[in-house]
Amino acid sequence: MASMLTDVYVNVRKQGNQTVLATCDCDICGKTLRDGEIVFMVREEFYKGMKVTVEEALELCKHSTIVNMVGKCIVRHAIKAGLVHPDAILNINGVPHAQIVKI
Render pLDDT for 48-80 as a digit per residue (tens, 0 to 9).
999 999 999 999 999 999 999 999 999 999 999
pLDDT in tens, 3-40: 445 899 999 999 999 999 999 999 999 999 999 999 99
Per-residue exposure over 10-33, b if at least 16 CB sit within 10 Å of its own CB, e if not: bbeeeeeeebbbbbbbbebbebeb
| Averaged pLDDT of the chain | 93
pLDDT of residue 4: 44
Return d(Cα 70, Cα 85) in angstroms, integer. 14
Assigned domain for 50 exists: yes
pLDDT of residue 5: 56
pTM for the predicted model, two decimal places: 0.91
Structural domain span for residue 34 = 2-84
Assigned domain for 92 exists: no
**How many structural domains compose the chain?**
1
